Amino acid sequence: MIPADVSKTAARCRHYAMCKIDFLGTGLCPAGKAKRYVSYYPQGRMDLCHALAEGIVPVTPRLVDIASTCSLCGICDKQCHFVTGMRPLRVMQALNEFVSSYLSRGGQVASERPDPVLDSLRQIVGDEWATNDPAILLTYANDPFPLAGMKMPRCVVLPQTREQITATVRLANEHSIPLVVRGNGSSVFGIVFTDGIVIDTERMKGIRIDTDNWVAEVEPGVTSFELQKEASKHGLRVNAAEPAATVCGNIICTGMFSTWSNAYGVGADNFASMEFVDDGGRIFNLNERSAPNLFGFRHEVCTPPGICTRAWVRMHPTTDDEEGLLVPFSSFSEAASFAADLSRRRIGLAVGVLGGHYLSTFMSPSAELSERVRACLADTLGIEYMVFVVGDRHAREAIRKMVGTSIDERLMRSLMLGLPNLVRDEWTALLKGMEGAAPPYRTLLREEVRPVLELALSPSPETIALSVDADLREFYQELYSRPEMTNLRWLNTFRIVSSRMARHKHVFVIVLYVPLNKIGVIERLISELAGIADRHSISHDYGFLTPLDLGKRAVLEYDYYIDHTDPAEGGRIGAALVELDPMIEQLSADTKGVMWLKYIFSQGCSRKESFLYA
Ligand code: SF4
């Protein structure tokens, strides 16, 4: 039996695949690293444990192997806690115990279902890398998107070369079998499921850095984190998305966007070329004149142009004086105007307007602390939004001259390491006593007040580690002793703390391109998105806004949060979508520059000019 509370934890896996990258320097799950199918990674084991509790997967040869390859090393407990606050090690223990108890009671292990298509797939990729074992299939059959049901594939295949992908596509065509491709995790929008063949690109991890041409040639299994790590070894940077997302998948799906898009652009700005295998199994390169025109954009939901087998991603130079800076604001309009001004003046590389939810969640190692930090920022300090910038020393000097108050790397490190003290009642009561017309942060963050602030915060890895479970404190102390863990430039380059944004619930992301010269329109949009969520009792929050193309446009993220294990919440999202669609469509028809990312899905290779100014 799987205990009910363990099954509940297992069901809460968000499928963000952070357990498939070594983002904390703990090493990777050894079983996943060796066996490569998602079922062997902690994410897959969570799905399997829940499925066993629900009785929807039999004990199979692969399930026995999955259980036997987990050493209970505990790496996943640390990784998952950092991102979601969950402790999956109990799930891993329960899964192992279930299988060993089943076997010791003489339980039968289901045998493989014969399938000639599987035999052909094995001839293409080798016996190990194609299977129809239900314990593998199950972990490719669903994701946390509440409006998509489970769809069990017929086979899962892990090719290693472009030629193996081509042969798989041709085989699928020959037998009229549907086929989808996936990289890490899943789309979290229910669009990578099939009852046919799933191609998992996990074994295609090649990266070749070409410094002469400023491009990195990447295979489709490479994640943003892995590519950024390679680029940074050469003092370079790519405009990458969520750390566990695959680079090729992200470019095709939505086009790359991040706070770095202020300087590096979106869509086709981010790559020099891409190579695809089309539906007929033919290979084409986007820079060939005879290639399908994927740089254009159609205002409709499109299907993917094929399977990306390589991308030549643009890399950008960095300077050794880059640092982060935060500028606090009491209102969205002031913050957005300032961000637009920076973009117009070409000041800063990464620029973003962050709200209280993101700021507090990214800074805090626990959900409980995050709630208190958010209240402290808004109620005590008067900070509702911050403009976040990474820039060289000239950019930061210019910004300091433009604003009265800012938070530099050193102060931010103190704030992060002293967070449990920042939210202490007696300290916040003292700050509340700083009455006056100006928001309290203006006084508190003054240069001459810093020694007092430092004293009160007592910032250290030991202080921040007090906010997590006692048995994790030593690990968190060691983690936060590393300078990069509080370094704004590093954190924004690798984006590992932004994965915390869905710590309390699965996130349903709404991304729109918006006209940054019409801040009233953006505010109306935010208000409408909030209103729809409120009417359907969905928790929601502002995400971020990043200026694009010299402040003419911006990308806006607004987030709805749902418990994907609660069918009632799924129903509420469904009802909200019915209202979202016409509201955004109308705004888009009325206002140049409003474009829902929904229409850019599968058209991420488009030139930005074709959707920002259409
Ligand atoms: S405890 Fe098991 S599942 Fe978790 S990282 Fe270690 S081997 Fe992988």
Report the 3 state secondary structure along 125-147.
HCHHHEECCHHHHHHHCCCCCCC
Name the strand (E) or helix (H) holding 596: strand 595-596
Query: Would you state the structure tokens that stand for residue 512, as one six-digit string?
Result: 């729109």
The finding on whether 509 has its CB within 6 A of some atom of ligand 1 is no
pTM of the model: 0.95
CB-neighbour burial class of residue 111 (10 A; exposed 0-12, middle 13-18, buried 19+): exposed
* Contact by Cβ (8 Å): 327, 386: yes
Name the strand (E) or helix (H) holding 355: strand 350-355
Average pLDDT value for residue range 152-164? 97
The residue among 116, 118, 98 whose CA lies nearest residue 107 is 98
The finding on whether 30 has its CB within 6 A of some atom of ligand 1 is yes
Residue closest via CA to ligand 1's atom 5 equals 29
C-alpha–C-alpha distance, residues 225 and 53, integer Å: 34
pLDDT digits (tens, 9 = 90+) for 344-369: 999 999 999 999 999 999 999 999 99
Pairing of strands 307-314, 215-218: antiparallel
The finding on whether 70 has its CB within 6 A of some atom of ligand 1 is yes
In the chain, what percentage of residues exceed pLDDT 70? 97
DSSP track, 509-537: EEEEEEETT-HHHHHHHHHHHHHHHHHTT
pLDDT digits (tens, 9 = 90+) for 588-603: 989 999 988 888 888 8
Which of 9, 22, 29 has most ligand 1 atoms within 8 Å of its beta carbon, as the pocket-test mutant?
29
In the chain, what percentage of residues exceed pLDDT 90? 78
Q: Is 164 strand, coil or helix?
A: helix
pLDDT given for residue 436 in this prediction:
67
Cα pseudo-dihedral 410, 414, 419, 423, rounded to 10: -100
Q: At what angle do helices 89-104 and 75-84 cross, to 10 degrees?
A: 140
The finding on whether 28 has its CB within 6 A of some atom of ligand 1 is no
Q: How confident is the model at residue 190 (pLDDT cuts 50, 70, 90)?
A: low
Looking at residue 15, what DSSP letter applies? -
pLDDT given for residue 10 in this prediction:
95
The alpha carbon of residue 201 and the mean position of all alpha carbons in its chain are separated, in whole angstroms, by: 18
Q: Is 20 strand, coil or helix?
A: helix
**Other beta carbons within 10 Å of 34:** 10
Q: How confident is the model at residue 188 (pLDDT cuts 50, 70, 90)?
A: low
Q: Letter for the amino acid at 402?
A: M
Name the strand (E) or helix (H) holding 454: helix 450-457
In whole angstroms, how far apart are CA 278 and each of 31, 195, 544?
33, 20, 35
Residue closest via CA to ligand 1's atom 4 equals 76
Q: How confident is the model at residue 561 (pLDDT cuts 50, 70, 90)?
A: very high
In whole angstroms, how far apart are CA 320 and each of 115, 392, 490?
57, 8, 12
pLDDT given for residue 31 in this prediction:
98
Residue closest via CA to ligand 1's atom 2 equals 70
pLDDT given for residue 427 in this prediction:
72
pLDDT given for residue 185 in this prediction:
60
Query: Would you state the structure tokens that stand for residue 66, as one six-digit string?
Result: 């999955």
What separation in Å is there between the alpha carbon of 45 and the centre of ligand 1? 9
C-alpha–C-alpha distance, residues 350 and 492, integer Å: 8
pLDDT digits (tens, 9 = 90+) for 429-453: 777 666 566 788 888 888 888 898 8
Ligand 1 closest atom vs CA 73: 6
